[in-house]
């Protein structure tokens, strides 16, 4: 969506204005329907961390096949050697998330190179914090035996007590840490 803007030198310029975000309640209902359809069509829920484990298993098998086949963790993704870990449901789901996110951003006029941050933090510091936060979430996903989407959406939807406890800890940890990180955003 673009709008014509009159500048002081009387030129008219076309400025791209992003479309407003969707209503969060309607988006939540849509996500719930996607989760329901994944159970009905695929027989399993949503998640993401398993796709990365499948990808790592595939790469490790190419680099060190003997070690990978002997390792219990990788063996679970490789099966008896006839299974390609990249042909897993979660790999296609994560690829669909990337493609869908790009399409959504393009339709909403939100694709641009930017770093979201507060005024009191540098780009470099923001990227370091983002990397550390992502690494901690990845480690936490393996320790919790599922990422936040798998634990919260899939586990929570089937009333798994461990998933509910996990999400309560995620929110409690986020609120506790927010106090210390607030200066990065204010």
Alpha helices in 43-83 (DSSP H): 49-63, 65-70, 72-78
If one counts the domains in the chain, the total is 1
User: Has residue 4 been placed in a domain?
Assistant: no
Give the mean model confidence (pLDDT) for residues 43-54.
87
- The tokens for 180 are 């210390």
Q: Decide if 139 is inside a domain.
A: yes
Q: How many CB atoms lie within 10 A of CB 140?
A: 18
Comparing CA positions, the residue from 8, 92, 20, 19 lying closest to residue 51 is 92
Position 30 confidence tier, pLDDT thresholds 50, 70, 90: very high
DSSP-assigned letter for residue 153: I
Which has more pLDDT, 110 or 184?
110
Domain presence at residue 103: no
> Given this model, what pLDDT does residue 6 score?
57
Report if residue 162 sits inside a domain. yes
Determine the Cα–Cα distance for residues 151 and 182; give it in Å rounded to an integer. 27
| Model confidence pTM above 0.95 | no
Read off the pLDDT of residues 79-135 as tens digits, 9 standing for 90 and up: 776 778 888 888 999 999 999 999 999 999 988 888 888 888 899 999 999 999 889
Q: Quick one: average pLDDT of 148-171?
A: 88
Residue 12 three-state SS: strand
* Residue-number span of the structural domain to which 159 is assigned: 115-186
Q: Does the pLDDT at position 153 exceed 80?
A: yes
CB 8 within 8 A of CB 126: no
The secondary structure of 73-98, three-state, reads HHHHHHCCCCCCHHHCHHHHHHHHHH
- pLDDT for the residue numbered 92: 92
**What are the backbone angles phi and psi of residue 2, rounded to the nearest 5°?**
-120, 150
36 versus 180: which is more confidently predicted? 36
Kindly state whether residue 128 falls inside one of the protein's structural domains.
Answer: yes
Q: For residue 31, tell me if it sits in a domain.
A: no
């Amino acid at each position: 969506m673009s709008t014509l803007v009159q500048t002081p030198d009387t030129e008219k310029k076309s400025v791209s204005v992003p479309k407003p975000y969707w209503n969060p309640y309607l988006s939540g209902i849509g996500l719930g329907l996607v989760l329901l359809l994944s159970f009905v069509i695929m027989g399993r829920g949503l998640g993401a961390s398993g796709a990365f484990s499948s990808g790592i298993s595939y790469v490790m098998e190419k680099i060190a096949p003997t070690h990978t086949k002997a390792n219990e963790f990788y063996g679970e993704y490789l099966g008896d050697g006839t299974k390609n870990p990249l042909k897993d449901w979660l790999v296609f789901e994560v690829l669909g998330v990337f493609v869908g996110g790009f399409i959504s951003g393009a339709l909403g006029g939100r694709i641009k190179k930017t770093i979201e941050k507060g005024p009191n933090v540098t780009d470099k510091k923001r990227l370091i914090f983002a990397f550390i936060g992502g690494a901690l979430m990845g480690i936490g996903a393996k320790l919790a035996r599922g990422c936040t989407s798998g634990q919260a959406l899939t586990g929570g939807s089937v009333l798994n007590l461990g998933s509910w406890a996990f999400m309560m800890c995620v929110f409690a940890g986020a609120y506790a840490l927010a106090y210390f990180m607030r200066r990065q955003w204010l």
